[in-house]
Structure 1
């Protein structure tokens, strides 16, 4: 049964998450004030999502609607200051995908985010970083020869298309 109050809160939190991120000018470093605000938003959102999951389980499509379920994923995706919580979200999101309550694309992104956070190679090529050469590119990818096959299985576009999109954020 749809929970409109939870839906609205998730959507509001996603909007705030994106608002603070979109204030970072491309090619510019984060100011100390903006970094502090970014961290505060992410920490607050992480604590909120933990409470929701403890009380209700993963907030899927039936509980909050597709957009707010996407918002829940985004909050987990940006919970980088609590890697253990991100890791705990993986099986919950995997179950939600199996039950049609979340998307495979969201799962692919969270798998990569957790793996990169653990210092491991990513599986789907979704996570990018500033390179040591000063450019912008994907974190190390496991078995790159089969990357597009894995991406296709999760409903993601070919990596070359994604790479072109991501390189618009190149700060080098």
Structure 2
């Protein structure tokens, strides 16, 4: 069984974080032990803190500022998962805790997608030279974490035209490309996506294993596949 998983460890600043799709909930969620309940409570407290901080802010001044706030919230929720992911909880309990986490995060991702569609630039996508690199990357993150495959495909086509002009980041394009290939059952090109296979974290099938490092360099990814696998803890239990 192949199940997409999120990257639990922070990567180098120049290396974009891989996709973080929600794992499916366990068929029969076990009763949470005190340790699992504590892990979930820790996540909820951290996430609630960020929500409260944002609620205390004045209304955003425009699209760029709202992009930053929306992404700050969804990223905070994902970063707060790290203690759960690296914990010693038994795998069934860990899955059950993460299912509870995703019950709160998924509606946020869905709302971000709906909102982003209403504020797209007239020419279809955000540009480094116009909205700024941070805004372009924040918009991409919302798309990367969206469950709307048709929207992801539309954005990928728009980004493809802009990559060669340095108007969007090559690594962002690569991660969205790989993500769509994986979800449509095709091999990925850049080696950015990992999945849980038979209880172990593995890099998803590659289009051209012999050339993957060359392809990664061409698109601006700063690590080799082997370096990336070490960051992702490929081979660890999942």
Instruction: Calculate the TM-score normalised by the size of structure 1.
Output: 0.88
1:110-153 Cα offsets, whole Å, 9 max, x none, are 10011111111100000011112x11111111111111111111
2:230 counterpart residue number: 164
Work out the number of aligned pairs and report it.
167
Distance verdict in 2 for CA 1:22–1:58, change over 3 Å: same
8 Å contact from structure 1 (residues 13, 45) kept in 2: yes
Which of 61, 82, 100 matches 2:148?
Answer: 82
Q: Which has the higher helix share?
A: 1
Distance verdict in 2 for CA 1:46–1:145, change over 3 Å: same
1:44 aligns with 2:111: yes
Could you say which structure has the greater relative contact order, defined with CA pairs below 8 angstroms and 6 or more residues apart?
2
Quote how far apart the aligned CAs of 1:57 are: 2.1
1:20 aligns with 2:85: no
Mapped partners of 2:237, 2:80: distance in 1: 15
Distance verdict in 2 for CA 1:171–1:48, change over 3 Å: farther
Unaligned runs of 5+ in 1: none
Mapped partners of 1:142, 1:169: distance in 2: 20
Instruction: Calculate the TM-score normalised by the size of structure 2.
Output: 0.65
8 Å contact from structure 1 (residues 42, 75) kept in 2: yes
1:138 aligns with 2:214: no
RMSD: 1.9
1:63 counterpart residue number: 130
Which of 161, 164, 167 matches 1:95?
Answer: 161
Tell me which structure has the larger Cα radius of gyration: 2
1:154 counterpart residue number: 219
User: What secondary structure is seen at the aligned counterpart in 2 of 1:61?
Assistant: coil
8 Å contact from structure 2 (residues 71, 138) kept in 1: yes
Quote how far apart the aligned CAs of 1:54 are: 6.5
Mapped partners of 1:108, 1:37: distance in 2: 28
Quote how far apart the aligned CAs of 1:169 are: 9.4
1:34 counterpart residue number: 101
1:110 counterpart residue number: 176
